[in-house]
Structure 1
Amino acid sequence: MDNRLSATPQSATSPSLGLTLWRQTWPMAIGVLALLGFQLVDSAFIARLGTAPLAAQSFTFPLSFLVIGVQVGLGIAIAAMISRTLGAGEQERARRLGSLVLVAGTVLIALLALLLWWVQEPVFALLGADTATRGLIRAYWAPQLLAAWLGAALYFGYSLFRAHGDTRLPGKLMVITSLVNLVLDPLLIFGIGPWEGLGLPGAAWATTLAFACGLLVLGRRLLRADWLSGRGLGGELARSARPFAGIAGPAMISQLMPPLAAVLAISVVAGLGETTVAAWGLASRLETVSLMVVLAMTMSLPPWLGRCYGAGDWDQIHRLMKLALKVVMLWQLGLGVVMAGAAPWVALALSGNPEVRDDLATLIRFLLPSYALLGICMLVVSAGNALGWPLRAMLLSCTRLFIFYLPCLWLGAQLGSLTGLALGAATGNLLAGLAAWRMLRRILDRPQRRARCQEGLGPHRPISGTSCNGPN
């Protein structure tokens, strides 16, 4: 990593800084692993039903990612706005913001779920699903959208806790909901004793029940935390709607780009056959699991950066970003190399179909090592929304997908079938990571900011009585 990213002589790998980052990240990493792990387990169980149900589930991923993209974009804005407000010492305003965003977010996701149910037939036909596959999707889609809505409500609650510096409860609840899902999955998919399972829809109902359990626990803790307020919501809405939209709008567009790219990607993959679609679906699940540390840091780091932004402490921001990027690069590259070496055994554990296993092993070998650079891009986009440059973060996200990833994916598929597809996707990830690193270095190392730091002034003077030495 280039030392120019650090604007201060203090080491970016300060033990206290690293320890605080570890304490904030590890609960989220475990939670993300559990949450994404149960999604991978879902796909592994469904794979035992046959290639057709697995392909049907894979066709739903782009639209499921659409819901997730909206909820994550709103969650980013929630964490950024509330953490900045807390960094500036405005406790009562933070309570009002918490109440507003929880209500507005759940209503918006409910409307989106209804829309996706209404347009399912033409959309899945456009993606390449045949009549038989659309029949399987139809039975699965309603409970899956219900699960998505409950999961979004749960995620908004997590964002509120993260904004207040509490990553442990979200991490614990992710583990609890994952365990509940893990227990319910085989019962509802395959049945037990004389009771026949529900098949593919059983996976969605298991997720629905798991998220409902998590919401019950989260709701009780929110009521005790005193982070919500019903006073002055009208005035707060008028005051905060525009700045919130200024963060949430670009953040949602950034998060909606991956689902749109996934729609286009699976259209390319569908041309290679049902077996490849099934393998691509499993690889997509494995991707999110393998990026668990990156995803955890994109949730734990922005609230901390937001507090530093609110307090005007750019020196701490420089040190945090340099440390975080080193961690992401070393962890993700090491994991990618190990997973690539173990690709045949990983594929064997995830699928019983020999053809699907072979295709999945090929995808793992090429894609997993490239996630080191993809992780850097994801971290930079996440940090951008917390540090006051959401438009740049949105443009970076769009560039990653539509300038690098999709063109390389399409070109690879044209040149070399599945192997070319995997190589093209990996090349797109590498180019995106390099572009993100260059953009971050330019933003955080502007000459005028460095000059002010050298003069001992700092980019901003911290607000009196505030601190960003770590979330409370």
Structure 2
Amino acid sequence: MAIGVLALLGFQLIDSVFIARLGTAPLAAQSFTFPLSFLIIGVQVGLGIAIAALISRALGAGDAPRARRLSGLVPALGILVIALLALGLWAGQEPIFRRLGAAPEVLPRIRAYWGPQLIAAWLGAALYFGYSLFRAHGDTRLPGTLMVVTSLTNLVLDPLLIFGVGGWSGLGLPGAAWATVLSFLTGLVVLGTRLLRTAWLTVEGLAGEARRSLRDLLGIAGPAMVGQLMPPLAAMLAVAVVARLGEAQVAAWGLASRLETVSLMAVLAMTMSLPPWLGRCYGAGDWPQVHRLMRLALRVAVAWQLALGLCLALAAPWLAGVLAGTGEVRADLAVLLRWLPPSYAALGVCMLVVSAGNALGWPLRSMLLSAARLFVCYLPCLAAGAWLGGLPGLAAGAASGNLLAGLGAWALLRRTLASPRRNAIDESSKNIA
């Protein structure tokens, strides 16, 4: 999964690197779409969490027929939800992007890119739900392999569709989105073919399963989606703060956001692969194994992210020169890279605790922790830093917010795991109420 996540996030960064060669304006136009893209991803991840948690719990409890019914029910619902969300974001795009601070002359560039990007987001969500099915059944090899395949496909198509080939001048900024569409379609064909060969799906008894599982589904997916929707909301507010500093700063922030997801690939891989394992332990009542898994995951996250973050901070000028297209954007990106990557060790702790809570029956606590990370720690520190010190202050404030969130998550995990079964039962009662 780490290799797959690196490939998947890497091609998103590659998109930005190619677009940066078109100039600051196209890169800034793409950066304005990031918060809304994160919004779609937040909904799909929340539904994916429910898919993996419910199916893995059913398998851990030995209820294979219910696992097959859930495997057919939840992904179909998720695909419909993402389609409706994409239509709504297309219809309301102009007032949304104006609210984010996009200038009138940037809106036509955004509009040309946003349509194919929404199609890509819908196809990517369908692919992600398929990945969740395989992960819930203990197969991480196929999702990881397909992430690499789609990444390589995008890498080949990006320069062809953006810059053209031969006498064709290419599509420019929209070409990056169409490359993603074709890449995800390739992955869906392969995944669908493999899924049809399994015995994981059934269409029998879906109506009864929907009535039976609706409360469990909402109890997990509801708080998880709210928790996943808060980061894009925070990202929108962060972009609005950065937009007051200038267009070059927005472009640098967009590149730093892409690099953030790539540098967190080990943590993201654990947030994908750990919950199904924890869910089986939850279904079997094996809490000692839960303790062992969480200790190991947190140690790996802190050690890896600290080492990687320090390396990225030291290499900030060189890395900014590779990624950014203009001198002003390079200078601003170097400032961000000196502050942000080392703080991702604390951010990784928070991400793992949130992910574990959704699998172990504490979805409300996970949602509240996500809210505290973003709106109590991250955004206030970021805004205060930007007000006091411009872009360097903004970077220092964001790093401080990540550190505070990590410390708070660690304290919450220690307190919750002191009596895990009672906490899970108490929270289930709250969900029912």
Aligned equivalent of 1:125? 98
Please say if 1:259 is aligned against 2:232: yes
Amino acid across the alignment from 1:145: L
Please say if 1:407 is aligned against 2:380: yes
Aligned equivalent of 2:215? 242
Q: Which of 397, 403, 426 is the matching residue for 1:424?
A: 397
Amino acid across the alignment from 1:182: L
How many residues end up aligned between the 2 structures? Answer: 424
Specify whether residues 45 and 448 from structure 1 end up closer, same or farther in structure 2 by C-alpha distance, changes over 3 A only.
closer
Aligned equivalent of 1:55? 28
Report the identity percentage: 74
Amino acid across the alignment from 1:209: L
- Mapped partners of 2:119, 2:177: distance in 1: 8
Aligned equivalent of 2:113? 140
Aligned equivalent of 1:291? 264
Q: Which of 111, 114, 131 is the matching residue for 2:84?
A: 111
- Mapped partners of 1:104, 1:199: distance in 2: 34
Amino acid across the alignment from 1:274: E
Deviation (angstroms), 1:352: 2.1
**Within-5 A mapping of 1:359-438:** 359-438=332-411
Aligned equivalent of 1:85? 58
Specify whether residues 236 and 353 from structure 1 end up closer, same or farther in structure 2 by C-alpha distance, changes over 3 A only.
same
Specify whether residues 161 and 447 from structure 1 end up closer, same or farther in structure 2 by C-alpha distance, changes over 3 A only.
closer
Aligned equivalent of 1:101? 74
Could you tell me the TM-score, scaled by structure 1's length?
0.89
Aligned equivalent of 2:16? 43
- Mapped partners of 1:426, 1:227: distance in 2: 43
- Mapped partners of 1:181, 1:448: distance in 2: 45
Please say if 1:218 is aligned against 2:177: no
Amino acid across the alignment from 1:233: L
Q: Deviations over 1:3-25 (max 9, x none)?
A: xxxxxxxxxxxxxxxxxxxxxxx
Q: Which has the higher Rg, Structure 1 or Structure 2? A: 1
- Mapped partners of 1:29, 1:213: distance in 2: 21
Deviation (angstroms), 1:109: 0.3
Aligned equivalent of 2:428? none
Residue segments in structure 1 that go unaligned for 5+ positions in a row: 1-27, 450-458, 461-472
- Mapped partners of 1:161, 1:447: distance in 2: 27
Residue segments in structure 2 that go unaligned for 5+ positions in a row: 426-433
- Mapped partners of 1:345, 1:38: distance in 2: 20
Aligned equivalent of 1:347? 320
- Mapped partners of 2:421, 2:75: distance in 1: 39
Specify whether residues 365 and 308 from structure 1 end up closer, same or farther in structure 2 by C-alpha distance, changes over 3 A only.
same
- Mapped partners of 1:157, 1:416: distance in 2: 45
- Mapped partners of 2:34, 2:218: distance in 1: 27
Specify whether residues 372 and 447 from structure 1 end up closer, same or farther in structure 2 by C-alpha distance, changes over 3 A only.
closer
Q: Deviations over 1:149-205 (max 9, x none)?
A: 000000000001000000000000000000000000000000011011100000000
Paired residues of 2:264 and 2:348 also in contact (CA < 8 A): yes
Amino acid across the alignment from 2:378: Y
Specify whether residues 425 and 250 from structure 1 end up closer, same or farther in structure 2 by C-alpha distance, changes over 3 A only.
same
Amino acid across the alignment from 2:62: G
Specify whether residues 305 and 447 from structure 1 end up closer, same or farther in structure 2 by C-alpha distance, changes over 3 A only.
closer
Specify whether residues 448 and 85 from structure 1 end up closer, same or farther in structure 2 by C-alpha distance, changes over 3 A only.
closer
Deviation (angstroms), 1:447: 10
SS of the residue aligned with 1:67? helix
Amino acid across the alignment from 1:345: W
Specify whether residues 191 and 163 from structure 1 end up closer, same or farther in structure 2 by C-alpha distance, changes over 3 A only.
same
- Mapped partners of 2:387, 2:77: distance in 1: 44
Q: Which of 202, 205, 210 is the matching residue for 1:229?
A: 202
Amino acid across the alignment from 2:188: L
Amino acid across the alignment from 2:127: L
Aligned equivalent of 1:154? 127
- Mapped partners of 2:94, 2:391: distance in 1: 28
- Mapped partners of 1:418, 1:446: distance in 2: 44
- Mapped partners of 1:77, 1:187: distance in 2: 38
Could you tell me the TM-score, scaled by structure 2's length?
0.97
Aligned equivalent of 1:200? 173
- Mapped partners of 1:312, 1:346: distance in 2: 47
- Mapped partners of 2:146, 2:351: distance in 1: 24
CA RMSD, aligned part only?
Answer: 1.2
Higher RCO by CA contacts (8 Å cutoff, separation 6 or greater): 1
Paired residues of 2:24 and 2:325 also in contact (CA < 8 A): no
- Mapped partners of 1:274, 1:139: distance in 2: 19
Q: Deviations over 1:300-324 (max 9, x none)?
A: 0000000000000001000000010
Q: Which of 281, 306, 310 is the matching residue for 2:254?
A: 281
- Mapped partners of 2:105, 2:49: distance in 1: 39
Aligned equivalent of 2:147? 174
Amino acid across the alignment from 1:377: C
Q: Deviations over 1:200-234 (max 9, x none)?
A: 00000000000000000000111101110011111
